[in-house]
Structure 1
Amino acid sequence: MEKNEINKYVQENKDRLVDELMELLRIPSVSADATYSQDVIEMADAVKASLEKAGCDVVEICDTPGYPIVYGHKIIDPALPTVLVYGHYDVQPADPLELWTSPPFEPVIKKTEIHPEGAIFARGACDDKGQMYMHVKAFEYMIKSNTLPCNVKFMIEGEEEVGSTSLSWFVERNQEKLKNDVILISDTGMISNKQPSITTGLRGLSYVEVAVTGPNRDLHSGLYGGAVANPINILAKMIASLHDENNHITIPGFYDNVEELSTEERAEMAKAPFDLEDYKKSIDIKNVYGEKGYSTNERNSIRPTLDVNGIWGGYTGEGAKTVIASQAFAKISMRLVPNQDHHEITELFQKHFESIAPDAVTVKVTPHHGGQGYVTPIDSIGYRAANKAYTETFGVPAIPVRSGGSIPIVALFEKELKSKTILMGFGLDSDAIHSPNEHFGIFNYLKGIETIPLFYKYFVEMSK
């Protein structure tokens, strides 16, 4: 298996590889909205068909309490190492639709400053259909060229964007079926198209919804204003109090188990190329904002956070309606670092949030989903194989980075399957995942297909 041979295959099949991905992107597999439930099922069928066509000996659609998991494998010799590929076929909702420059489920190719060769604009283009499909096409190449050096298993789920609830149920019941030597995931990004990186750390997550209730009905703001608590005002004050003047989270016990990196580790992280002015320009802000004493890259990777993801209550329609709302609501997420337990953090949040509410209102905290943080060692065979693969296709070694995002199932995999995960992402921060106009560079998509087979090659060589 040589880099030039893979590159030749990719270039000769470029149009087909892109067209096949665009067909998958036309399926609106939004797992959060039951309106799209049939589309999610259709997407599972499409993934099954793609794995069968690529060369898997066995492909199954496995029922779960929620959306199905697509499992497939190619076992060439039980004595050889086994790579388990994980991905997800569900996508985020496309809202707000009016901010898309083209329909979210009608993929189009557009050239951009960062992607002069073109990028595919569609919901799920990068997260995670494009990155998941790279693995299917890399596998296809290895089968067609007779260069597959080890066994492969695929596990592609349909609930990642809503917390992977059924995945833990499935993994716990299929440990022998999923037995592997390393898990390979592409649901992360890299620094740039010239500088690859490998994600070595992920933040955990605690996600809650809060409700503040005052009077038993909406009240006339003239007749009752100033005499009763306004739940919207109270909620705003409570949320504001969750950070101090240094943007430090004020929940008692929140930082008790936070991993503090050494000066040396922080210095290594700082070697990653980063231009603060370009960063601010890319999201059109005048200045950055965050916890005092930490850089921008540290704030969004090695430090925990608390953010309001949505807030509502009262009248928000056209014109005026002078009411004091009966209730106010917010959705809040906390990104956690290794050693912070998401169950414990959720309990600490609930206890604190209830304690700071005045007795003029009642508060209800509803936990949603969460997950643990994760760190993978850079001296493992999997990491070294991935780095060698990136080095060969990009011409420079990858830089280890910690991501601000969360993939809760990575910690689950280590707990249940006793194997390490390698996060080989090919997306960019500018790809607008979870936002309008999500896209994935054609360069990145094809480069992933070229790089992944080399990971297999070097992982097997280093495992001997």
Structure 2
Amino acid sequence: MSIEAVLSRIDAGLDASLGRLFDLVRIKSISTDPAFAEEVRRGAEWCAAELAGIGFEASVRQTAGHPMVVAHWRGKVAREAPHVLFYGHYDVQPVDPIELWATDPFEPRIETRADGAKQIVGRGTADDKGQLLTFVEAARAFVAETGGLPCRVTVLLEGEEESGSPSLDAFLLENKAELSHDVALVCDTNMWDAKTPAITATLRGLVGEEVTITAADRDLHSGLFGGPALNPIRVLAKILAELHDETGRVTLPGFYDGVSELPAEVKASWDGLGLTADAFLKPYGLSTPAGEQGRSVLEQLWARPTCEFNGITGGYTGEGFKTVLPAKATVKVSFRLVGDQDPAKIRASFRAFVEARLPKDAKASFHPHGGSPGLALPFDSPWLATAKAALTAEWGVPAVLIGGGGSIPVVGRFKTMLGMDTALVGFGLDDDRIHSPNEKYDLTSFHGGIRSWARILDALAQG
């Protein structure tokens, strides 16, 4: 079978694929708002019905929250082909503020930009309904053209990704044998740009900590007590200032344990993307990099750990002025982790760092806000090589291996709970306005994404 026949079927069926995307976008599957619970279920049932219509054995699985969709291909596959788990989510973010939408967010439309490019506008078009359907539509074309799929495929679609995935851990553990396969495929990431496909090979982990420093048993008048009385804001500010040295490195003992240098060829590839600090920072009113000296912007974002302060409170913060020495001061701190950094060790090191710097009369209390390690496919992974070659063949330019500055928790769960690596191949763009009004997904992303998944599945089957 020539892959070209499948690709031709995808091209001929693009309007029908768009119609199915429009149908899915019209379902108001907002998972975080209980008022839309029935719509979320309707989204699950729609997805299961479409997969069953292709030939999958598909079912809607109830959880403590919103349902999961699980589908297995039981039909014809290429001999000795790997078994992949494809993951996506059919739930979406709320649409607020509704007044900033140009049109009804749940009535999708095609908009033509000034440059002639077409984009699909509507809530969920990019995150993640359009993305998940690129895979489903590729499978549909394969079955229609060949009567089967090139690989063994299981599909897992979640209905709570946009509300923190509260039911996911239990579901994965309860269904571990059914869902553990050779590799997971996730389509919830971006291309490098509109013409350059990308595979996200690394993700940073996250440790969140909230610290409260207390001193006196009440707020004190700064005129009557300023000087001899300990001020928790001063204590907190001094501790925070000591968390970075003059080069931007984090000073926690053991912080860089498990952090490796980039392979030279990967660093060269990232440098070749041509993103300068000025180009990255200027659109946001900034000019000078503030991270580790001697590291490029992309290296800082994708391959280096960070310590950032996300919010500080203490004393009087209302309108006007109040001369007070506060009884307490609080900071929220996030650590982005890479490589083999251990979240538990980072948390313990941070708490010890704070405790060691407390003066007499000061106390610290800590509240954790999650912890997950960084994740990376080995840069020499055969999954990456196969997907990269398939993407390069489709888009006509070399696919690039990029990193993710944030976290995608499900990828960590696939690794720790199911024992699987994940290849993240997505077709979103930085300007898709996900989570914001007027979300869009370029038509070239949708069409090229379908064709790309067809090529990837075919390449996986061939080894």
Alpha-carbon distance, 1:213 to partner? 2.9
Q: What secondary structure sits across from 2:179 in the alignment?
A: coil
- Computed over aligned residues only, the root mean square deviation of the Cα atoms, in angstroms, reads 3.4
Alpha-carbon deviation of 1:305?
Answer: 0.8
Q: Distance in 2 between matches of 1:201 and 1:416?
A: 18
Alpha-carbon deviations, 1:380-416, whole Å to 9, x = none? 4432332233123311231122222222432432344
Query: Conserved in 1, the CA contact under 8 Å of 2:210 and 2:368?
Result: yes
Paired residue secondary structure (1:118): strand
Aligned residue for 2:49, secondary structure, equals: helix
CA contact (8 A) 2:91 2:158 kept: yes
| Structure 2 counterpart SS, 1:53 | helix
Count the aligned residue pairs: 452
Q: Which residue of 1 aligns with 2:43?
A: 46
Shift of 1:417: 3.1
The verdict on how the C-alpha distance between 1:306 and 1:450 changes in structure 2, with shifts beyond 3 A counting, is same
Shift of the alpha carbon at 1:223?
A: 4.4
Aligned partner of 2:179 in structure 1 is 178
1:8 corresponds to 2:5? no
TM-score where L is the length of structure 2 = 0.84
Q: 1:20 aligns with which of 4, 17, 23?
A: 23
CA distance in structure 1 between the partners assigned to 2:94 and 2:235 by the alignment: 30
Matched-pair identity in %: 37
1:414 corresponding residue in structure 2: 415
- CA offset digits 1:31-54 (Å, max 9, x no partner): xxxxx2453674254133223223
Q: What residue identity is the alignment partner of 1:290?
A: G
Shift of 1:178: 0.8
**Secondary structure, in 3 states, of the residue corresponding to 2:427?**
coil
Matched, 1:29 2:26: no
Task: Give secondary structure in 1 for the equivalent of 2:126.
Answer: coil
- The code of the aligned residue for 1:52 comes to A
Residue in 2 aligned with 1:278?
279
C-alpha distance in 2 between matches for 1:317 and 1:108 = 43
* Per-residue Cα deviation, 1:57-81 (whole angstroms, up to 9, x for no partner): 22122425x6543322232158754
In structure 2, C-alpha distance between the alignment counterparts of 1:397 and 1:379, rounded to whole Å? 16
Indicate the residue corresponding to 1:338 in structure 2.
339
Q: Are the equivalent residues in 2 in contact too, given 1:204–1:374 (CA < 8 A)?
A: yes
8 Å CA contact retained: 2:197, 2:395? yes
- Give the 5 Å matches for 1:235-246: 235-246=236-247
Residue 100 of structure 1: how far off its partner (Å): 5.5
Structure 2 distance, partners of 1:104, 1:332, is 38
Instruction: Report the Cα offset of residue 350 of structure 1.
Output: 2.0
Q: Does 1:295 align with 2:296?
A: yes
CA contact (8 A) 1:206 1:346 kept: yes
Structure 2 residue identity aligned to 1:19:
F
Aligned counterpart, 2:58: 58
Does 2:195 align with 1:198?
A: no
> SS of the residue aligned with 1:351?
helix
Name the counterpart of 1:33: none
Q: One-letter code of the match for 2:59?
A: V
Instruction: From the superposition, tell whether residues 440 and 338 of structure 1 become closer, same or farther in structure 2 (CA, over 3 Å).
Output: same
| 1:259 match | 260
* Cα distance, 1:212 vs structure 2: 2.6
Any stretches of 5+ residues in structure 2 without a counterpart? none
Partner of 2:134: 134
TM-score between both structures, scaled by the size of structure 1? 0.84
**Residue 45 of structure 2 aligns to which amino acid in structure 1?**
K
Give 1 or 2 for the bigger CA radius of gyration: 2
Partner residue in 1 for 2:401: 400
Q: How does 1:24-173 map to 2 (within 5 A)?
A: 24=27, 26-30=28-32, 36-39=33-36, 42-55=39-52, 56-64=56-64, 68-77=67-76, 81-90=82-91, 97=97, 116-118=117-119, 120=121, 122=123, 125-145=125-145, 146-160=147-161, 164=165, 166-173=167-174
In 2, Cα distance between equivalents of 1:185 and 1:167: 15
Deviation at 1:334, TM superposition (A): 1.1
**Residues 240, 320 of structure 1: alpha-carbon distance in 2 compared, 3 angstrom cutoff:** same
1:319, distance to aligned residue in structure 2 (A): 4.2
CA distance in 2, matches of 1:8, 1:210: 58
Shift of 1:275: 4.6
Contact 2:202 2:377 in 1 (8 A): yes
Alignment deviations for residues 70-112 of structure 1 (CA, whole Å, 9 cap, x no partner): 32223215875422111234556778x5996669966776666
What is the CA deviation profile of residues 333-361 of structure 1, one whole-angstrom value per residue up to 9, with x for unaligned ones?
21111111112212212222232233343
User: Is the contact made by 1:54 and 1:143 (CA closer than 8 Å) also made in structure 2?
Assistant: no
